[in-house]
Structure 1
Amino acid sequence: MSTCKINPPFRAEHLGSMLRPDYLLAARKQFDKKEVTAEQLKELEDKAIAEAVKIQKEVGLKGLTDGEYRRHMFYDGFFDHLQGFEEIEHPPREIFKLYVPDISAFLAENTKPAATTLCTSKIKHVKSGYLPQFEEMKKFVEPEEFKNIKMTLAAPEWFHLRHGQYAYSKDAYSNDEEHFDDIAAAYRTELEILYNAGCRNVQIDDPLLAYFCDESMLEGMKVDGEDPAARLDAYIRLYNNCLRDRAEKCPELVVGLHLCRGNFRHSIHFSQGGYEHIAVKLFNEINVDTYYLEYDTDRCGTFEPLKELPKNKSVVLGVITSKFPELENIDALERRVREAAKIMASGSGESEQEALNRICVSPQCGFASHEEGNLLGHDDMKKKLQLVVDLSKRLL
């Protein structure tokens, strides 16, 4: 097991994406229709990012993001910049795995994805999609804050779980492991590029690992002839291969892993189930430093799985929802976090205070994983972020 770092994350965190202002949403639609230029769109993105950074600093957050304002979806920036991947418009239904919760949700509404991305030839890292975002973000913070910029990255197995054997051309790869090896090599290159530019804090956004907590998907995989445990093991190997060289090449890089249950437009979620299904492997076998876990509703289960969290790792508890404007009661939130610390301590053998020192707090997810965002306003978002900071101060 790697030697993991506790900080960052900071005691108060947010998950990256923020609500886009109306003028940015309008400009992106105009850009898609070729009614504004890339330069005009970038000017408005810069304006919006400056406003987003100002909000984060005003409420007292130290970890800073660009709100993902240069993206359409949270996972943009990796696969779309790799040689070997191709966007497929109007993909056939049969290439989708119907047991994946978000796929089944879309198809239940007779909504077929307009496009997807498949691997059609050998994978090669030819261009970083994240580096320009990181370099641009530097313009909005002081040099001493560069290390506090958090870059959110796509999960390496994103398209594989959705498509299984259809995820890659058999002319390019004869099996999953060959395919995963080249994804991991590209991921290592991406991390090294970001690190050399000054990035020290990345968060991998992965709804798919949380899907392994959902009984309906596990049963669906078995019906389809898949072994959920073997698939999870394969994805853990993929993760560790992606992060294989960071101790030597990126020694100060802190890597967080966010498990999401769906944060689609208009506050939709896709899956449920407690972390007990995957906790032992999740916390002990994946070589990341911290875990961003959703804990805003009962569908996330109890804190009991936190007993499995090793002492050299930290956790960010998403006890505040980003989906709706109602503010949680801060006294109740504090009690919940202290309950989590007590449970962690019972598993690790440390004191409750020592366990509490490894806990940070955040909203359960970003405010706009998809550009259309959740069902709350900008003032509501700022109040939620302020609540995160106020809660964190109670835990000092």
Structure 2
Amino acid sequence: MKVSENKSDDIIVNDQDELQSLLEHTDELIYQFRYFPEEKKYTLPFASRGLWNVYEVMPEEVKYDAAPAINRIHKDDVKAVFDIVNNSMKTLKSWSYDFRVVLPSKGVRWLRGNGRPIQLMDGSFLWNGCVIDITSQKKKEEEVKRTIDVIESQNVRLMNFAHIATHNLRSYSNNLELLLELAEKESDLNEKNEIMGHVKKVSEGFSDTMAHLNEIVTVYTDVSQQLKTVNLNTSIEKTVNILKGNITQKKAVIINQVPTECFLEYNPAFIESILLNLISNAIKYSDSERNPKIKLNAFHENGRLILQVSDNGAGIDLRKHGESLFGMYKTFHKNKDAVGVGLFLTKNQIEAMGGKIEVKSKVGVGTSFKVFLT
């Protein structure tokens, strides 16, 4: 077969019928694509029957104007495809690219195309190449990616479980130890009984947490299976009871302004862990010049439920520590009890539930966290 490089007409390949016959039974598109710079015109002077399989266009429809095929390219991929073809024209180097088309009957399909350019005597450019449908291959790649994502997500949740087990249970043990010390030092029987009442509440909370952790072990591979209806106000009150020892010792004031009927679908262990970390941190990193005051409220913003936890504590220098604030084992105060796990754990739990957390803080003034719960 001969290729005409001197004529300006669109018939580049001679004996097209013979070539079409040879390619009759292949699903791949074998093509010649031609561009006339002066006219800014694209044509497909030759296209095998495979054109229908990949573009759902017949060869005769694009012989003198390639628009019917070009218009099938997905709108999000058009620019990239033309950039690659234009670069190939400028450099006379071959191109290869994966892109999508939207077909009338098959919908979105993935194609892999390539072309080798030459410049003809009349100044036009001609690409010889082929295009194949790689949709099934792309689906397999997506399945592999989803599998990897699931494994990574499982690893994150497994890490979350490990930190809940160590970090949260440590909160219970510390508060139990502190309450028992207070009870030993207290001589007034009524005060001692009140403290022991708090010990009982902490013990009950400890049992609930163990039940939640056991549930995570059972179904940690699927966060959605862990969802339950949670009353946010009740969860806060429960957390306050757990931290009663710290609150009493620091003379902290907790202001719970969350509506009593504030319900959401959430992981109970996660919501408890989030509240424990945010409230205990607000108590732990209080300003030495004033008693801690921690305010909690909840509101809707752009259709999302937001929990806000604000304090009048020591504050954090966000310009210095902002990027690493939620990092593992990162601490920002000279507190001997600081471990640097709480905020890392909190952020991961919130994000695992599809939310996010934002912070505003000023040294010497206090800190405010916004938790996007839904």
* Pairwise TM-score range, normalised by the shorter structure: under 0.3
Larger radius of gyration between Structure 1 and Structure 2:
2
> TM-score, normalized by length of structure 1?
0.21
> TM-score, normalized by length of structure 2?
0.22
Which structure has greater strand proportion?
Answer: 2
Structure number with higher relative contact order (C-alpha < 8 Å, ≥ 6 residues apart) = 1
